């Protein structure tokens, strides 16, 4: 969420006045290069490559989720790819995945979830563009249907942005634990997979059995670290853990369409509903022993891990050992793992269904993407705001990425719990870490020590999901505010006329591309001095 090379970004911008037809009169705008229309909902973030701007958005229905392409210089729409229908039900958030572009291939995750690879030459050549969205299958180089291959319970929508490294595409499957018994529960479904970027063939998967340990869902994206010359695949999970995996071994042999039966190794997670009950400061295990919980349940088939909840989510029957068929492919090897939830968070009740948080510390999954900077990894915790995490205390950790094994204690450089739960990826620039929480408060910390320099509450930007921050050219772009990347709080300007967005801005070639309402703005320093 930072750029060290881009320069010349403006200190402020504004959209100007609207014409009678509702369009913006750019002659009255300040530092706006062009404005392009999007659809009703845009949670995806733009990516720029080879003179084009790509962004995922929504249509009139979940089947109309689409990827748009605009000309970088003029904002003219060059193409629309419609993902099409799926058997998997999803909320109509559109394509939330930020596209990854490498050469003439574009990779993203459709909302159902499917990993898609588009051939840009087939999609954007004049004959294909003229065909329009009706011939949207033409540019597909390949697609990998994760919902069809694996047993997946997906809550809301898939939002992973894939990582392309070497010849492989890494993606989060989005498997989760649904909040009610309306949907089945699949504790053995892999959470992180790797595909061949040329063919879409599955080549590796994790075997951490994270599904059993989940609180709700998984929406984080994998990212890349290079530690002492060696690559690490970073992956933050719905369990509150951050992992580092070795990249796929290109020499590993993969036999397609071969399956193996996987068995839960344990423990089984058992939720104790403590709504309107006094836990007396006891841990869930102590409460279970002293509160006759064990006497009222059948004999467990595996060891149990007890957790508190408010309105219990779906759970594994304690008297059975789950099994599942999974692809027989190489297993991703762990380098290190770190528990980002302090013990007092794990011992607190998890709000499972439409509950209102009480502002205390509670278990949270990780939705943000891990950020790597100078052999350290930064990640904040924060769950779904409509399921209890809103206004609850969060945690931001700095992890030493040079160690191996369970580094929860030995690898913690510092932690910071003075923020609310956060869904957003942090920005790291000039030795500073910037994080925004669910209360729309920005926190500026020292990247080495975690020392707090300042906080700033955004005005009028409150929303259920905040966009991440972008640090570039000494400026921190944060919703309707532009702040200085500095140890001292300095407000450079506020953006009038923009509307709240959960999309993350990006910068390329001296231009900031940012979503405002139903439009994509291209912002640059035009020398405009209009007030």
Q: What CA–CA distance (Å, rounded) separates 454 from 355?
A: 31
Could you read off the pLDDT of 77-93 as tens digits, one per residue?
999 999 987 766 778 88
pLDDT of residue 87: 66
Pairing of strands 334-339, 405-406: parallel
Phi-psi region for residue 439, left (φ > 0), alpha (ψ -120 to 50) or beta? Answer: alpha
Q: Is 128 a residue whose pLDDT tops 60?
A: no
Q: Report which of residues 398 and 292 the model is more confident about.
A: 398
Mean pLDDT, residues 16-22? 76
Q: Kindly state the DSSP code that residue 484 receives in the 8-state scheme.
A: E
Cα distances (Å, whole numbers) of residue 29 to 38, 61, 66, 309: 19, 33, 29, 51
Here the contacts of 413-416 (C-beta below 8 Å, separation 24 or greater) are 413/376, 413/448, 413/450, 414/449, 414/450, 415/342, 415/450, 416/443, 416/445, 416/450, 416/452
Q: Residue 469 in contact with residue 427, Cβ under 8 Å?
A: yes
Three-class SS of 221-277: CCEEEEECCEEEEEEECCCCEEEEECCCCCCCCCCCCCEEEEECCCCEEEEEECCCC
Cα distances (Å, whole numbers) of residue 275 to 207, 309, 379: 34, 7, 30
Q: Is 530 a residue whose pLDDT tops 60?
A: no
Q: Is 163 a residue whose pLDDT tops 80?
A: yes
Mean pLDDT, residues 109-121? 94
Bridge partners, residue 515, by sequence:
520
Half-sphere exposure of 342 (CA within 13 A, CB side): 15
Three-class SS of 113-180: CEEEEEEHHHHHCHHHHHHHHHHCCCCEEEEEEHHHHCCCCCCCCCCCCCEEECCEEEEECCCCCCCC
DSSP 80-125: EEE----SS---S----SPPEEETTEEEEEETTTEEEEEEHHHHHS
**What is residue 461's three-state secondary structure?**
coil
Q: How confident is the model at residue 527 (pLDDT cuts 50, 70, 90)?
A: confident
For tokens 């439009």, name the residue: 519
Q: Residue 518 in contact with residue 57, Cβ under 8 Å?
A: no
pLDDT of residue 19: 79
Q: What CA–CA distance (Å, rounded) separates 298 from 515?
A: 53
Greatest mean pLDDT among 39-53, 119-133, 175-189, 329-343 lies in 329-343
Could you read off the pLDDT of 217-260 as tens digits, one per residue?
899 999 999 999 999 999 999 999 999 999 999 999 899 889 99
Q: Is 134 a residue whose pLDDT tops 60?
A: no
pLDDT of residue 50: 95
Could you read off the pLDDT of 287-321 as tens digits, one per residue?
999 888 888 889 999 999 999 998 888 888 999 99
Phi-psi region for residue 407, left (φ > 0), alpha (ψ -120 to 50) or beta? Answer: alpha
43-57 exposure pattern, b = at least 16 Cβ within 10 A, e = fewer? bbbbbbbeebbbbbb
Q: What CA–CA distance (Å, rounded) separates 506 from 468?
A: 10
Q: Residue 127 in contact with residue 79, Cβ under 8 Å?
A: no
Q: What CA–CA distance (Å, rounded) separates 176 from 150?
A: 12
Q: Is 490 a residue whose pLDDT tops 90?
A: yes
Could you read off the pLDDT of 441-485 as tens digits, one per residue?
999 999 999 999 999 998 765 555 677 899 999 999 998 899 999
- Widest CA span in the chain: 75
Greatest mean pLDDT among 84-98, 172-186, 372-386 lies in 372-386
pLDDT of residue 418: 95
pLDDT of residue 498: 61
Mean pLDDT, residues 372-384? 93
Host H or E run for residue 284: helix 284-290
Q: What angle do CA 99, 474, 401 make, to 5 degrees?
A: 60
Q: Is 137 a residue whose pLDDT tops 80?
A: no
**What is residue 502's three-state secondary structure?**
coil
Question: Closest by alpha carbon to 54, among 65, 39, 70?
Answer: 70
Of 15-19, 187-191, 209-213, least confident by mean pLDDT is 15-19
pLDDT of residue 506: 94
Average pLDDT, the chain: 90
Q: How confident is the model at residue 122 (pLDDT cuts 50, 70, 90)?
A: very high
For tokens 């003179």, name the residue: 51
């Amino acid at each position: 969420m930072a750029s060290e090379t881009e320069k010349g970004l403006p200190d402020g911008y504004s959209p100007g006045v609207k014409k009678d037809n509702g369009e913006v009169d750019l002659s009255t705008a300040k530092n706006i290069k062009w404005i392009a229309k999007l659809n009703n909902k845009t949670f995806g973030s733009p990516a720029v490559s080879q003179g084009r701007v790509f962004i995922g958005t929504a249509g009139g229905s979940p089947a109309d989720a689409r990827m748009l392409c605009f000309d970088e210089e003029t904002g003219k729409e060059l193409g629309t790819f419609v993902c099409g229908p799926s058997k998997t039900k999803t909320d109509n958030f559109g394509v939330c995945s930020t596209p990854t572009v490498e050469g003439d291939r574009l990779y993203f995750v459709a909302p159902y979830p499917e990993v898609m690879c588009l051939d840009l030459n087939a999609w954007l050549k004049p004959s294909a563009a003229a065909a329009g969205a009706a011939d949207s299958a033409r540019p597909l180089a390949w697609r990998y249907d994760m919902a069809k291959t694996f047993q997946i319970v997906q809550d809301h929508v898939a939002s992973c942005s894939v990582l392309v490294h070497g010849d492989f595409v890494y993606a989060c499957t989005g498997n989760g634990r649904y909040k009610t018994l309306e949907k089945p529960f699949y504790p053995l479904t892999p959470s992180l997979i790797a595909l061949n970027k040329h063919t879409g063939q599955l080549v590796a998967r994790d075997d951490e059995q994270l599904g059993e340990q989940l609180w709700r869902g998984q929406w984080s994206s994998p990212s890349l670290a290079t530690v002492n010359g060696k690559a690490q695949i970073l992956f933050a999970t719905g369990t509150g853990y951050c992992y580092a995996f070795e990249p796929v071994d290109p020499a590993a042999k993969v036999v397609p369409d071969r399956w193996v039966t996987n068995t839960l190794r344990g423990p089984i997670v058992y939720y104790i509903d403590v709504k309107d009950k006094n836990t007396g400061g006891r841990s869930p295990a102590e409460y279970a022993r002293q509160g006759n919980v064990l006497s009222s349940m059948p004999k467990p088939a595996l060891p149990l891990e007890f957790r508190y909840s408010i309105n219990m989510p779906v759970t594994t029957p304690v008297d059975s050992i789950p099994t599942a068929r999974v692809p027989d492919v190489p297993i991703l090897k762990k380098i290190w793992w770190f528990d980002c939830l302090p013990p007092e968070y794990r011992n607190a009740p998890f709000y499972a269904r439409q509950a209102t948080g009480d502002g205390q510390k509670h278990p949270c999954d990780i939705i943000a993407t891990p950020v790597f900077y100078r052999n350290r990894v930064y990640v904040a915790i924060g769950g779904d705001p409509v399921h209890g995490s809103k206004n609850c205390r969060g945690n931001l950790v700095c992890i030493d990425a040079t160690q191996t094994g369970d580094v929860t204690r030995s690898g913690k450089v510092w932690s910071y719990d003075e923020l609310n739960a956060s869904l957003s990826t942090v920005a790291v620039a000039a030795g500073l870490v910037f994080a925004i929480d669910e209360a729309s408060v920005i926190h500026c910390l020292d990247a080495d020590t975690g020392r707090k320099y300042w906080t700033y509450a955004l005005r009028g930007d409150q929303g259920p999901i905040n966009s991440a921050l972008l640090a570039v050219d000494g400026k921190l772009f944060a919703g309707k505010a532009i702040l200085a990347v500095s140890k001292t709080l300095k407000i450079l300007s506020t953006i009038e006329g923009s509307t709240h967005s959960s999309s993350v801005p990006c910068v390329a070639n001296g231009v900031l591309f940012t979503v405002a309402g139903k439009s994509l703005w291209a912002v640059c320093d035009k020398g405009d001095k209009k007030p």
